[in-house]
Structure 1
Amino acid sequence: MVPVQADGLDLLAQFMKQARSGRAQFVQVVTSPSRAGQAPRAKTSSGSFEFHRPGKFRFDYRKPFVQTLVADGQTLWLHDVELNQVTARKQSLVLGSTPAALLTAAADLQALKADFQFAPEPERNGLQWVRATPQSPDGQIRSVLVGLRATPAGPELAVLDVQDSLGQRSVLTFSAFEINPVLPASTFVFKAPAGADVIKP
């Protein structure tokens, strides 16, 4: 049971400890900074998300474009179906200070403190919040707000609100969150489709 007085940092530590795997639906809203008097532009996408710690996750984007993002523990794969293009990057080089690393890379909160500083934020919208700031100021991420919901089964992830160094904001809202589902190993195996261009920057 989650103590009533638990703040966001407590809940995040519990989530990291209890949730070895997870599955959820998500909606992502990416807002670009306004330019020269234009209003900020927002793009909305949605799909499903699965992870298994340490180091494996999968985002299946279904709307408005079909894309798959898979981290298999070694390689981060991005498949753009419309372009018939696959990009493969070494996972250790791209995940150190990304929001996905918050969820999937480390076994517990203590292990994450090598890459992030954490501070609890005031409760709002029925959620407890933690602000994670990368230790390295040179990365793409400026800060990540993590929103967690206390449930009888334990804390679950509700929101990731990411600000990047270019002023872009990406808000991922999760629903139908399942903690510790049994996920087949094939979930995190990616094979490039026949005929797809494979790019390894």
Structure 2
Amino acid sequence: MNRIWKALAPLLVMSIVAAAPARSEAMLPNGAPVSKDLKQVLDRLQRHYHDTNSFTANFNEEIATVGAPKRQRQGTVSFRKPGRMRWEFGDPEKQTIVSDGETLYSYDPDLNQVVETPLKQALKSSSATSFLLGIGNINHDFKARFTIPQTTGQIDLLLDAKTGGYKIEVGLDPKTYNLISLTLIDQLGDTTKVDFSEIHDNVELPDSTFAFKVPAGADIVTAPASP
């Protein structure tokens, strides 16, 4: 399931921000007191995603695993609170990942196989995924700071999990505060970077967008129950 969670990372961060309280803990890289500007950025970001109930976007994904060649994929994503999402990955590794708010489906067309996992059970396998249902707390789970230096023309932030294990670099459009890039760095040094384009907020997305129909003849694998 690690590949699935890496693919879900952008949605997790959006949900983290949407669920966050108005006041968030923020630290500078040297541990000095946070600047007023950073507080303002975090508060504005929280307000933006608090008001964003759905979105659609195109994305480009690059996965860099230590000791292996980089892999790239493109596709589209749709998201609607709470916990509904649809990722469509194109060539060279086609894949569909859908959550209807209760069950997470991952379909691999090359294997013609569907992996089904109850969403509540899936939440137990990664602390970050708890934000999909709005039960996370950025103040409790993350330290936030600007990345240094700020040279990209966007607002670059680092969310560092207090429990360790992963860091999330976030790139924001300085005008709209839309999430335009995201990099997840795990404890092994593997990175998943996703760049977004053609972002549309608060679009009408019917339930059918997040309904998954098992393809004809596909094998269905049910994730084993958590201990």
Greater strand percent: which structure? 1
Query: Contact between 1:115 and 1:134, CA under 8 Å: does it hold in 2?
Result: no
Q: Aligned residue for 1:76?
A: 104
1:147 to 164, 171, 192: 171
Does residue 62 (structure 1) correspond to residue 87 (structure 2)? The answer is no
TM-score normalised per structure 2: 0.71
Which residue number in structure 2 is paired with residue 46 of structure 1?
Answer: 74
8 A Cα contact 2:184 2:192, kept in partner: yes
1:112 aligns with 2:137: yes
Please report the TM-score for the alignment, with normalisation by the length of structure 1. Answer: 0.80
CA offset at residue 8 of structure 1? Answer: 4.5
* 2:66 paired residue number: 33
Match of 1:12 among 21, 45, 61: 45
| Selected match of 2:117 from 89, 92, 105 | 89
Which of 154, 159, 170 aligns to 1:132? It is 159
Amino acid aligned to 1:182: E
1:37 counterpart residue number: none
Stretch moving more, 14-23 or 74-83? 14-23
Q: What SS class does the counterpart of residue 195 from structure 1 fall into?
A: coil
Cα distance, 1:144 vs structure 2: 1.1
CA distance in structure 2 between the partners assigned to 1:10 and 1:128 by the alignment: 14
| CA RMSD in angstroms, aligned pairs only | 2.3
| 1:160 maps onto 2:200 in alignment | no
Q: Does 1:198 align with 2:220?
A: yes
Contact 1:97 1:134 in 2 (8 A): no
Amino acid at match of 1:131: L
**Whose helix proportion is higher, 1 or 2?**
2
- Summarize deviations over 1:129-176 as a string: whole Å, max 9, x none: 332233444xxx51111211133xx32111110012232100011011
Sequence identity of aligned pairs in percent? Answer: 28
Query: CA separation in 1, counterparts of 2:133 and 2:82?
Result: 5
Q: CA deviation at 1:11?
A: 4.1
**Matched residues, number:** 182
Residues of 1 paired with 2:162 and 2:210: CA distance? Answer: 29
Asked if residue 189 in structure 1 is aligned to residue 211 in structure 2, the reply is yes
